Amino acid sequence: MTILHAPTLGTDPIKGWAIHPVHLATVYVNDEYFLALRYKNSISNAEWHGKETEQRINEFEKNLGPFPHKNMTLSSAYDLSQWALEMKQEKYHKIFTHAFIGMWAAFEAGLENTVATIIQRDKVSAEGCAKQFKAGRYPIEQWPWSSEICMEIAQKLDSRAKDQIQNGGVDIFGRVTTIFKWMALEISTDDKFINTLAEANKVRNTVLHRYGVISQNDAKDIPNLKPYIGNVMPIDEHNFFAYYEAIHGTLTLIAKSIFNSRLLNKS
């Protein structure tokens, strides 16, 4: 979930300061998505690497004589082809899992950076968020706060939202909309994202903490996971795209919320 050279965005970081971090997160999410598809295509092409290498070596030996290190070269080429075939048989689960984790990391970073940016620049948002903590913890009289304090607040708000909504441990979309309500920003609800985003978050937790193995409690929270209790749920292209669509769609709803808000007129 890193890019060595900072991406160039179409959003002006000055005039579009509030929406800029959302756009940046979307770029990182898209990068992970397309990276996975390119890896998949590259690995698929490697399926024939062994046979093609052997053909090239045979052609070489017809014209130029013995090929140096022939056995080692063929062994390496066929090993790669065998690995590519195994990846294909698993429907590229490992590739999609890696990309999904990177995609989710970009999503979380985008949420935190967006919230931190807004509460540093908008007093209404800062006041609403400060009220979620003990009185005096983040005195509004000392606003505007430093970027470090704003990021600290942004990182703590998720747990506050988790405690304040029904089924907060599962409903991550609800947690996001709650945080934005504290900033006096309304995010439109899209039912098709709510369940998929919850499932994606649950799967992400299992990958990070239990090597992807689904527990009884996971299946209780997310019924779609029930067939995989005691096993790893395969992440194939179908559910990888569903998770991407939910993450990307949520970021789009956040961008629309900001675009239609009072924040547009702030410089």
SS3 label, residue 140 = helix
Mean pLDDT of 176-190: 94
Kindly report, residue by residue over 58-101, the tens digit of the pLDDT: 999 999 999 999 999 999 999 999 999 999 999 999 999 999 99
pLDDT band at residue 267 using 50, 70 and 90 as cut-offs: very low
The structure's pTM equals 0.92
Question: How buried is 134 (Cβ within 10 angstroms: 0-12 exposed, 13-18 middle, 19+ buried)?
Answer: exposed
pLDDT band at residue 165 using 50, 70 and 90 as cut-offs: confident
**Domain spans in the chain, listed from the N-terminal domain onward:** 20-40+91-265
Query: What is the rounded distance in angstroms from the CA atom of residue 258 to the CA atom of residue 236?
Result: 33
Query: What is the rounded distance in angstroms from the CA atom of residue 102 to the CA atom of residue 110?
Result: 12
Task: Measure the N-to-C terminal CA separation of the chain; round to a whole number of Å.
Answer: 30
